[in-house]
Structure 1
Amino acid sequence: MASLPSLETTAIPGLVVVRLDRRDDDRGFFKENWQREKMLAIGLPDFGPVQNNVSFNGDRGVTRGIHTEPWDKFISLATGRIFGAWVDMRQGETFGATFTLEMDTAVAVFVPRGVGNSYQVLEDATAYTYLVNEHWRPGVAYPALALDDPNAAIAWPIPLTEAIISEKDQNNPTLDPSTAMAPKKTLIVGALGQLGRALHAAHPDADRVDLFTGEGVTALDLTDSEAVAAWPWHEYAVVLNAAAYTAVDAAETTEGRVAAWAANATGPATLARLAREHAFTLVHYSSEYVFDGTAALDPGHTEDEPLSPLGVYAQSKAAGDLAVGLAPRHYLLRTSWVIGEGNNFVRTMRGLAEKGVSPSVVDDQVGRLTFTGELVRATQHLLESAAAFGTYNVSNGGAAMSWREIAQAVFERSGRSADDVSGTTTATYAEGVLAQGKPFAPRPLNSAMSLEKIRATGFEAEDALVALDRYLAD
């Protein structure tokens, strides 16, 4: 059985050389040109090739490039030898950096998106083969570079005056920072919600979509197949899905049930499919409502606990979780009791405190607040640290508290007494709501989640009361 190939880094970030295990005998040779499991084991990205091309070169001296396609490539040779040359054409500090290498059939190179690729044939009948992770699309323009660019200063073994070069490649421009390839973009789905707005503050250059238009926000309905098909998903490296139907009680109605499943299940399933097709990283935000709240308070709900949703909202969120789990590159962040810009429990309690009202608040539901800033910080951490893909619980830290205890903390910070907030049970509160003819969804009594998994990646959650002080001060 063939052994593992080896990997060598270069001066161009992401451009790596792979030494293949070629087995030679008197008949010829055998090699595993691309074996996904082994390539991942040596550190290559799981770039998801969708097309294999072969460029046959009949004569020594054929020279092709320098072409900067907007996709990743894994290049190797079936026969012959080449002199390969690569130039970093991406925006950034390494723009213009070069790397050259003589290759035979025992060598391969992974070329990341935005790195200019070229080669010169050193033997007749050389077959150059490459895998790419996007299909060629008509009308796509990308930077090219002159083979004799003085800044790149590539030392071609066969002088270009003696080489065989296409007319197009003879007229490529010289190095120009203004044509540098920008990185793929970030897309925020559900940009008008409280989490979407917080994500935009952290990603000011991101594209933004929601069901309705807003300033800088484009309308996109993920249940509209034609609109989804027309959207340029290939332009994105990361899609942050903050869209959700969160009206827990209204989800129990006929109209609410349809809307909840559309936003919380169908939308995420569509994004998971697109993530598979376009190789972007999908970040999706879910809820502790996917559990029935019967877990022990310590450690709380864990990421691998079986799903046990109670109401329609919870069931639709659980369905979305299952769908997102099918995306190869995904972070599913389960969170609880989200507080951000807009109407929320903390703002309501602050308003009641200021108006002199003394509310009755449930004291048998226990969990932790999650401020949108903490969700954004956890998202950035997972993306930037390249943590393992999968599901992570995210909330603020500190001791789990009841809704009544949180209301009391808000009252105390508003100059009122904690005793001004009385307690009641969820069952009693539900009776009052139902008596008014309004829908009421079942709630998990324990919403506390274990934070050990994300802590193991190096993320420490900020205490919820510290975040609450800052929120109220702002």
Structure 2
Amino acid sequence: MVTEFDKALASHETGIPGLVLWDLPVHGDNRGWFKENWQREKMVAAGLPDFGPVQNNVSFNDAVGTTRGIHAEPWDKWVSIAAGRIFGAWVDLREGPTFGVVFTAELDPSRAIFVPRGVGNAYQTLAPDTVYAYLVNDHWSPDASYTFLNLADEAVAIPWPIPLADAELSAKDRTHPRLAEVTAVPPRRTLVLGANGQLGRALRAELGDASHVEYTTRADLDLTSPDLVTARHWRDYDTIVNAAAYTAVDLAETPQGRADAWAANVTAVAALARVATEHGITLVHVSSDYVFDGSLERPRREADPVSPLGVYGQTKAAGDALVATVPRHYIVRTSWVIGDGGNFVSTMRGLAERGVDPRVVDDQVGRLTFAGELARGILHLLRTRPAYGVYNLTGAGQAMSWARIAREVFTLTGHDPSRVTPVTTEEYTAGAAGPIAPRPRRSILDLTKIEATGFTPRDALASLRERLG
């Protein structure tokens, strides 16, 4: 193979997911040649993952037949040839249906390959003085966990141009295990914050106890700690779902509540945003209808400017702005969440059963969102990976007031709905002992954008009826 000059930058899929072969433009004349070995703007625009390299390594090989690998490392690599020529072999050593799949190709300075984490990498030099270069997106560490496969494994049967008996190998590479003995590389981890909350429990019900999913509470991981940057090996994580928040809306209007709300909803989120940005993690952040003032007659769209009324809404809006700086982010705006634990539906059911006749606000209108539905929508975003950004996600159907919902709860639990007395917000809050936060009167979020991704939220009233049997 002779280095080809002036090819167009182009990518070629392989049989291994994420392993992509690239043609590189090399410009040559009587003096030699020049190429842009890695050019972030052009290559990302052409489809290369924006993988964030932090280290550049070079391997010099003086003899034809020098053979190295098969090594699967815990980072992504951009591999190219600075001089000479190689026969490359790549084996998928990740968990999944393509475990053991092989791809081979010859590389010279006009070809490069993107090797995702967990794909075994090996090569054999076909020319003397070959220089093999690669960018990686994590710093080398003696504590890093590698997975190896024997170069001579019969199951993958790599057709080495130079028989391994005649090649230059290290003693270690000769003794690596066969495919049947290899432990597959697990996927990068998913971290769920706020695991004991209503949404956290719903996410656990959806995700189960998969080995790559980790559930934490504030007792396990303090996001405001200065040690957060070293609390985990963050390159092992693909996704963080932030289901944790300060949600005591009225208490947030007190001096201590204000400080606590800003600490949880802003300071902690800023720390998460830094970690996610630095390590290429997708950050899913759950937001609230309280970032709006409720003054519009139409449903709120994702691009509408925020206008929070109280401290809680202000901290959620500030947290959203921080998350929006993360390259890979989903801000999921929701409203009126109902899950396991204390919530409006369980409170109304309890009052009905105890014979209490409640006064319930009738001039605040919105849609219930059941935590299981919210979890299902978040996982849909993570599976389908639509464009990053803000997505409204609530129950669908007709908007209802709190009083209407309370009457539905009474009816569905076999009690007289006329026991619920509708009142205005002003009547309800008159004579309150403590501060009452201002609330949006209309909390209806437009669902067009999430529906365009293929997710259809369930009707909120149908979900309520199903929940109450």
**Aligned ranges 1:191-202 → 2 under 5 Å:** 191-202=195-206
Letter in 2 for 1:220: L
443, 446, 450: which one aligns with 2:442 = 446
Q: Classify the secondary structure of the residue corresponding to 2:363.
A: coil
In the alignment, the residues of structure 1 paired with residue 337 and residue 44 of structure 2 have an alpha-carbon distance, to the nearest angstrom, of 37
**Is 1:112 aligned to residue 112 of structure 2?**
no
Q: What is the match of residue 241 of structure 1?
A: 242
Structure 1 residue 279 displacement after superposition? 1.4
Structure 1 residue 364 displacement after superposition? 1.1
Q: What is the match of residue 215 of structure 1?
A: none
Q: What is the match of residue 77 of structure 1?
A: 81
The one-character-per-residue Cα deviations of 1:109-165 (angstroms, maximum 9, x if unpaired) are 111111100111111122111111111122223111111111121111112222222
Structure 1 residue 377 displacement after superposition? 1.0
CA contact (8 A) 2:284 2:330 kept: yes
CA contact (8 A) 1:95 1:177 kept: no
In the alignment, the residues of structure 1 paired with residue 468 and residue 52 of structure 2 have an alpha-carbon distance, to the nearest angstrom, of 46
**Aligned ranges 1:58-457 → 2 under 5 Å:** 58-176=62-180, 178-204=182-208, 205=210, 206-212=213-219, 219-296=220-297, 298=298, 300-433=299-432, 436=433, 438-457=434-453
CA contact (8 A) 2:367 2:396 kept: yes
The one-character-per-residue Cα deviations of 1:441-473 (angstroms, maximum 9, x if unpaired) are 111111111111111111111100111011112
In the alignment, the residues of structure 1 paired with residue 227 and residue 379 of structure 2 have an alpha-carbon distance, to the nearest angstrom, of 32
In the alignment, the residues of structure 2 paired with residue 228 and residue 99 of structure 1 have an alpha-carbon distance, to the nearest angstrom, of 37
Q: TM-score, normalised by structure 2?
A: 0.95
In the alignment, the residues of structure 1 paired with residue 218 and residue 82 of structure 2 have an alpha-carbon distance, to the nearest angstrom, of 50
Which of 143-152 and 462-471 deviates more?
Answer: 143-152
Q: What is the match of residue 3 of structure 2?
A: none
Which 5+ residue runs of structure 1 have no aligned equivalent? 213-218
CA contact (8 A) 1:220 1:228 kept: no
Letter in 1 for 2:30: D
Structure 1 residue 41 displacement after superposition? 3.1
1:444–1:177 distance in 2 versus 1, CA, 3 Å: farther
Which 5+ residue runs of structure 2 have no aligned equivalent? 1-5
Q: Classify the secondary structure of the residue corresponding to 1:183.
A: coil
Structure 1 residue 24 displacement after superposition? 2.5
Letter in 2 for 1:365: Q
Q: Classify the secondary structure of the residue corresponding to 2:148.
A: coil
Structure 1 residue 258 displacement after superposition? 1.5
CA contact (8 A) 2:229 2:275 kept: no
Structure 1 residue 343 displacement after superposition? 0.4
In the alignment, the residues of structure 2 paired with residue 56 and residue 176 of structure 1 have an alpha-carbon distance, to the nearest angstrom, of 32
CA contact (8 A) 2:26 2:110 kept: yes
In the alignment, the residues of structure 1 paired with residue 365 and residue 150 of structure 2 have an alpha-carbon distance, to the nearest angstrom, of 65
CA contact (8 A) 1:67 1:117 kept: yes
CA contact (8 A) 2:359 2:428 kept: no
The one-character-per-residue Cα deviations of 1:339-366 (angstroms, maximum 9, x if unpaired) are 0000000111111122222211111111
In the alignment, the residues of structure 2 paired with residue 228 and residue 131 of structure 1 have an alpha-carbon distance, to the nearest angstrom, of 23
Q: What is the match of residue 460 of structure 1?
A: 456
Q: Classify the secondary structure of the residue corresponding to 2:259.
A: helix
Q: Classify the secondary structure of the residue corresponding to 2:458.
A: coil
In the alignment, the residues of structure 2 paired with residue 420 and residue 171 of structure 1 have an alpha-carbon distance, to the nearest angstrom, of 78
**Aligned ranges 1:37-48 → 2 under 5 Å:** 37-48=41-52
CA contact (8 A) 1:222 1:228 kept: no
CA contact (8 A) 2:61 2:130 kept: yes
Letter in 2 for 1:467: S
Letter in 2 for 1:448: I
Q: Classify the secondary structure of the residue corresponding to 1:75.
A: strand
In the alignment, the residues of structure 1 paired with residue 37 and residue 348 of structure 2 have an alpha-carbon distance, to the nearest angstrom, of 63
**Is 1:9 aligned to residue 13 of structure 2?**
yes
Runs of 4+ in 1 over 3 A off after TM superposition: none
In the alignment, the residues of structure 1 paired with residue 235 and residue 303 of structure 2 have an alpha-carbon distance, to the nearest angstrom, of 32
Structure 1 residue 177 displacement after superposition? 5.1
Which of 24-33 and 254-263 deviates more?
Answer: 24-33
CA contact (8 A) 1:221 1:228 kept: no
Number of aligned residue pairs: give it: 461
What percent identity do the matched residue pairs reach?
57
In the alignment, the residues of structure 1 paired with residue 52 and residue 180 of structure 2 have an alpha-carbon distance, to the nearest angstrom, of 31
Letter in 1 for 2:466: R
In the alignment, the residues of structure 2 paired with residue 122 and residue 390 of structure 1 have an alpha-carbon distance, to the nearest angstrom, of 47
In the alignment, the residues of structure 2 paired with residue 331 and residue 381 of structure 1 have an alpha-carbon distance, to the nearest angstrom, of 12
In the alignment, the residues of structure 2 paired with residue 450 and residue 368 of structure 1 have an alpha-carbon distance, to the nearest angstrom, of 11
In the alignment, the residues of structure 2 paired with residue 119 and residue 392 of structure 1 have an alpha-carbon distance, to the nearest angstrom, of 44
In the alignment, the residues of structure 2 paired with residue 92 and residue 199 of structure 1 have an alpha-carbon distance, to the nearest angstrom, of 22
